[in-house]
Amino acid sequence: MIIFPAIDIIGGQCVRLVKGDYATASKVAEDPLETARKFEAAGAEWIHMVDLDGAKAGYPVNTEIYKNIAENTNLRVEVGGGIRTLETIQAYLDLGIARVIIGSVALKNPQLVADAIAKFGAEKIVVGIDAKNEMVATEGWLETSEVHYVDLAMEMIKVGVKTFIFTDISKDGTLSGVNIEQLRKLRDATAGQCNIVASGGVHTIDDIIACRDLGLYGTIAGKSLYQGTLDLREAIETADSVRIRPMKIEDYDALYAMWVACGNGLNNLDDSREGIEKYLKRNPETSFVSVENGVITGAILCGHDGRRGIIQHMCVSPEFRRKGIGHKLVKRALNALKAEGINKVLLVAFKANAVGNAFWEAEGFSLREDLNYRNLALADLIRYDPEYN
């Protein structure tokens, strides 16, 4: 589960509200960028930001602040507040914002949500559902509709939404604990069709544990971090429900489906059940899967020939591309190879692209376009550790 530290902005200042009431706005930090950097230093990978001025005005107001954080930290920034058009979404994404949150407009103009999903993809679009007494609130929480929050979620799933932020406004900024009952209703009604992020009421580590055990995708923490009732580093460590374990042949069906979904190059011989079984028998200690709530979310198929390691497949399910799962898998496999005395690792069946190159280079691989192992790779990457020479 992801922990999203939150920064809400009014007039360029970091503030928090109580129950969505603008009259309760209180300054909680001096500088948005420095606050974001502190969150990053504590281990955060994402930051949740809301343009409260924009939410009231109906158009972005504090854009430069979000741009500044996206450009000057490694945090993935999600932004909401005042997002009403495709042009606004495009502008935010062009600034390096990882994804945008559509709030009120999801109820009033569901076609915009459908168009945004079609144009930008579900990974870039989040729908925020804010509720008072289980009814959806709009216009910066200033108006309440007659639509139940679960009904809105079900309609949004139909147009392709994969991620929701659910806020119980009565809990927001109160430090009174998350509304587990309403979150459970949403989880059960959507039955694994979407990612759910809890927002509002987070107070202590017990709230993080409750959301994690509910199987949620993420939890937003704001006031609890600023007032010190929740330690961000501890929350991130506690929320991590991903477990890495050795790969087994019994995982094959789930692995094959994931490889296909990820577009991995497959062949009928090496990647058949029999082929993978032979692979695992030759190298039983160096291939791993990531598991979350009983579901295989990623895998790395890795072996060696006594001289060099070979990463045959590495992928993370499109539904779980978060929390650094890929990096965790690679680290586990490289450590296993080192334990067997292997210090040179070759990545095969990899199609060169900017995102993929950046991932593997972050793991210490260097691009070698003059190599082509068994004609499987369009571009190979080599990792060499002098420490283990």
Supply 256's token pair. Answer: 């094959």
Parallel, antiparallel, or unpaired: how do β-strands 125-132 and 135-138 relate?
A: antiparallel
Contact 114, 160 (CB under 8 A): yes
Supply 50's token pair. Answer: 């809301």
Residue 231 among the catalytic residues: no
Supply 29's token pair. Answer: 């930090």
Catalytic: which of 21, 31, 115, 130? 130
CA gap 308, 223 in Å, rounded: 50
Beta bridge partners of 77: 47
Query: Which region holds residue 25: left if phi is over 0, alpha if psi is between -120 and 50, else beta?
Result: beta
CA gap 161, 155 in Å, rounded: 9
H-helix or E-strand spanning residue 21: strand 21-29
CA gap 306, 161 in Å, rounded: 47
Beta bridge partners of 78: 48, 99
Alpha helices in the chain (DSSP H): 32-41, 52-57, 63-72, 86-94, 104-108, 110-120, 149-158, 180-190, 205-213, 223-227, 232-239, 252-261, 273-282, 325-339, 354-362
CA gap 322, 58 in Å, rounded: 30
Supply 379's token pair. Answer: 């571009």
Residue 51 among the catalytic residues: no
The secondary structure of residue 35, as a DSSP letter, is H
Query: Which region holds residue 238: left if phi is over 0, alpha if psi is between -120 and 50, else beta?
Result: alpha
Q: Please identify every residue annotated as catalytic.
A: 8, 130
